[in-house]
Structure 1
Amino acid sequence: MLQFFEIFSENRTFMYLSIIVLISLGLFLFSWLKEPRNLINGLLFSLFLILLIIWLSTIIVATKLRQLIISYEIIILIFILLLIATASFSWLFFLWNAYLVWRHESHTLANLLTFFLGIAIFISWVIFLSGAFRLIPTWLKIFLYAPTAIILYLLLVAYNFLVNLLLYQIVPRQYNQDYLIVLGSGLKDGKTVPPLLAARINRAIQFAQKQVAKGHQPPKFIMSGGKGNDEQITEAEAMKAYAILHGVDSKYILLETKSKNTYQNMQFSQAVATADFGNNHYRAKFFSNNYHIFRAGLDAKATGLNANGVGCYTRFYFLPNAIMREFAGILLINKKRHLIIIALITVLFIIFAFVNLLNNMC
């Protein structure tokens, strides 16, 4: 510890780096605690992690702890090897996950996303290992690098989404809410609450019970969900019946019966809460599956609903496929920005390929 303070006092570079790390942490915490539904929070957190790793590396080098340096190098080597192994054999994981989802869930196209991703990765590796790519002319290779660059860009966007999704799971709960909005997700046989939706209602009931146990007023539930083409009653009505059956007094249940998607869940639930409360100064939380709450939070923000989400448990095998769907939804929210960047990447590589072709012709 004494050696650490000596380094801090004698090494100006280390002192400045320490201050920068603290500033980056402060910026992240300020942004995240003020508005956890901002995508920039993932970038700020990643910046803090990078600076923290550099800071730790500086300590190891400055203290000349040879054993720690060796251990540090080994950890980095192991991490790199794990990344390579994960990239090389990720197609096996995605195909196995697709099998589990197909076995346990409904046979829909949306539930086959991990299957298609696994096949795409497998085909890419076969082409790479076969050496066929080396036979292609240089100018065409340059052009074909464009999809790789686009994939790398999308991977960075996906990484930022995953960081935000993880951070959103630990947003402070604040057990003093006026309304708990439960998002619908479809009914079984057109009239009963399926397990996925039941988990959302159960989580809201658990939250309400904990709030009362802490000495606060019991919140009101807003069951949010309209009637689908294949449903006999609205999702909200089925959710109310389920909640009453599990001990919730009907006087604490409000219904929102018009919504068809998450955006409308937020929009129409906000109107129900405002009408009941008398103004929009109420406090609210919404409830959905843990993989869905961040994107739902973005929808809430877009509608002006000042509410953050609380997630309920989802079986692990279903998470990869569900998270891929959520990521696709995030891309669509900012589709113009992403399409512009992808177009710029494509045009850039076309120009490089054309220049190379002209040079070869000359």
Structure 2
Amino acid sequence: MQGDYLFTWLITMAFFVIFAISYTYNRTWLRNGIWFNLFFYSFWLSLAIAILRTENPAIVYPVGILFLFVLFCIGLAFAFQSVLLFWNAAIVWRRESHSQANLLTLYLGIVIFLLPFIMGLIRTHLPAFWAELFTTFPVLCILYAVFWFYNYLTVLVLYQIYWPRHNKDFIIVLGAGLMNGDQVTPLLAQRINKGIQFYQRQLKKTGHAPKMIFSGGQGGDETMPEGEAMRQYAVAHGVGANDALAETASKTTAENMRFSKKIIDESPIKKPKTIFVTNNYHTFRAAMFAQEAGLKANGIGSKTAGFFLPNAVMREYIAIVMRQRKLHLIMVILLFLFSLFLVVLNLHSDWIAQWLQGVRQFLDNL
């Protein structure tokens, strides 16, 4: 028993070491979420075993009640997830534009609400084989999507744990569209203000003013480039005119990073220290683009309104999935084949038994 108890803690520490090495080497690896969750849940399992081994009712019962309460809250959230999604969709509908991107929680809520009825119709109106296949396969796909979504949430939260030193030479602020053609939106203002806050703290602490690069091109409905509008906003809010640079050619986050890196490379500073600023939900994917552009920079995120986060995080997740669409397509095909195997095994177990018996007889005759 003592050996088994110590073994669980060794496994926990092994997961932590692997996670720490992986995360230190590259903060943008999605696998970091898997290693962290293996550490996280093995830690709580080891702790639970340790508590149970005390056999002390004063410890075991309160902890057990707390554990059951947490499970109850999680189950309640899952039971009412469609209601929560509809509630969020209603808030977004009132406060934001009615774009497709802002209606993701509404669409997901509708799917979750209708799914049990659709499954019931499939089981009622289709032959047994097809009914089993068209219910098993979607369930496995949903579990697969939920697994990677949870993993993405993990790495996104982990990426927020970052306290940069105030020794930067450049601060890149990513654009996010203008309103009325030339005005900074509240969301974009949050990004700029976050960058200005870092700029002013560093200037006060070290006396070294970093250059701020405001990155964003001109959209079809805009009368001026985002980068220039952002630069003017920053200068009006205390950034030195000589410290504010506008990058006005980029149209995407990838171009934000590439074109900003070009400006940095043209500076006389050797081995410049750089940081980028965007909204908190966007930091992880933006860091991927920074790495692809060869830009050594970590990101800090400005706060985002709580009601806006579900749609924003879902958009980021979809974008991450699309970056690896070939891998996920292969996995979906494998899930379909596995579903087919499970259905045949469930409905035609006699076929499997006969086939195994035939294989055994064939081997015996060799």
Superposed pair shares fold, TM > 0.5: yes
Q: 1:20 aligns with which of 7, 11, 29?
A: 11
C-alpha separation between the residues in 1 aligned to 2:3 and 2:338?
Answer: 42
Is 1:251 the counterpart of 2:242? The answer is yes
Q: How many residues align?
A: 351
Residues 1:70 and 1:98: Cα distance change in structure 2 (over 3 Å): same
Q: What is the CA-CA distance between 1:161 and the residue it aligns to?
A: 0.4
Q: Quick check: 1:139–1:356 contact (8 Å CA) kept in 2?
A: no
Q: Quick check: 1:182–1:288 contact (8 Å CA) kept in 2?
A: yes
Q: 1:307 aligns with which of 279, 297, 303?
A: 297
Is 1:121 the counterpart of 2:108? The answer is no
Q: Quick check: 1:176–1:216 contact (8 Å CA) kept in 2?
A: no
Cα deviation digits, residues 335-355 of structure 1 (max 9, x gap): 111111011111322344467
Q: Quick check: 1:225–1:236 contact (8 Å CA) kept in 2?
A: yes
Determine the structure 2 residue equivalent to 1:95.
86
Q: 2:68 aligns with which of 61, 77, 81?
A: 77
1:245 maps to amino acid: A
Q: Quick check: 2:215–2:260 contact (8 Å CA) kept in 1?
A: yes
Q: Quick check: 2:123–2:132 contact (8 Å CA) kept in 1?
A: no
Q: What is the CA-CA distance between 1:49 and the residue it aligns to?
A: 0.9
C-alpha separation between the residues in 2 aligned to 1:19 and 1:214?
Answer: 43
C-alpha separation between the residues in 2 aligned to 1:166 and 1:224?
Answer: 25
Q: Quick check: 2:167–2:273 contact (8 Å CA) kept in 1?
A: yes
Determine the structure 1 residue equivalent to 2:177.
186
Determine the structure 1 residue equivalent to 2:281.
291
Residues 1:42 and 1:83: Cα distance change in structure 2 (over 3 Å): same
TM-score (norm 2): 0.89
What secondary structure does 2:179 align onto?
A: coil
What secondary structure does 1:19 align onto?
A: helix
Q: 1:108 aligns with which of 78, 95, 99?
A: 99
What secondary structure does 1:291 align onto?
A: helix
Q: 1:37 aligns with which of 8, 28, 35?
A: 28
What secondary structure does 2:330 align onto?
A: helix
1:296 maps to amino acid: A
1:335-354 alignment runs, 5 A limit: 335-353=325-343
2:255 maps to amino acid: Q
C-alpha separation between the residues in 2 aligned to 1:26 and 1:134?
Answer: 51
Cα deviation digits, residues 199-241 of structure 1 (max 9, x gap): 1111000011111222251110011001111111111110111
C-alpha separation between the residues in 2 aligned to 1:146 and 1:16?
Answer: 37
Greater RCO (Cα-Cα under 8 Å, separation 6 or more): 1
C-alpha separation between the residues in 1 aligned to 2:330 and 2:279?
Answer: 32
1:159 maps to amino acid: Y
1:126-137 alignment runs, 5 A limit: 126-127=117-118, 133=123, 136-137=126-127
Determine the structure 2 residue equivalent to 1:221.
212
Determine the structure 1 residue equivalent to 2:57.
66
Q: Quick check: 1:175–1:216 contact (8 Å CA) kept in 2?
A: no
Is 1:275 the counterpart of 2:266? The answer is yes
Cα deviation digits, residues 98-148 of structure 1 (max 9, x gap): 1111110111111100000001111113456x6873665431233121011
1:308-323 alignment runs, 5 A limit: 308-323=298-313
Q: What is the CA-CA distance between 1:356 and the residue it aligns to?
A: 6.2
Is 1:138 the counterpart of 2:128? The answer is yes
Determine the structure 1 residue equivalent to 2:200.
209
What secondary structure does 1:309 align onto?
A: strand
C-alpha separation between the residues in 1 aligned to 2:277 and 2:142?
Answer: 32
C-alpha separation between the residues in 2 aligned to 1:216 and 1:177?
Answer: 11
Determine the structure 1 residue equivalent to 2:359.
none
Specify every segment of 5 or more residues in structure 2 that has no aligned partner in the other structure, as ranges: 355-366
Q: Quick check: 2:122–2:131 contact (8 Å CA) kept in 1?
A: no
C-alpha separation between the residues in 2 aligned to 1:164 and 1:52?
Answer: 18
C-alpha separation between the residues in 1 aligned to 2:256 and 2:275?
Answer: 13
2:171 maps to amino acid: L
Q: What is the CA-CA distance between 1:16 and the residue it aligns to?
A: 3.4
1:223 maps to amino acid: F
Q: 2:253 aligns with which of 259, 262, 281?
A: 262
Identical-residue share of aligned pairs (%): 37
1:188 maps to amino acid: M
TM-score (norm 1): 0.90
Q: 1:153 aligns with which of 138, 144, 156?
A: 144
Determine the structure 2 residue equivalent to 1:7.
none
Determine the structure 2 residue equivalent to 1:50.
41
Q: Quick check: 1:138–1:356 contact (8 Å CA) kept in 2?
A: no
C-alpha separation between the residues in 2 aligned to 1:43 and 1:359?
Answer: 35
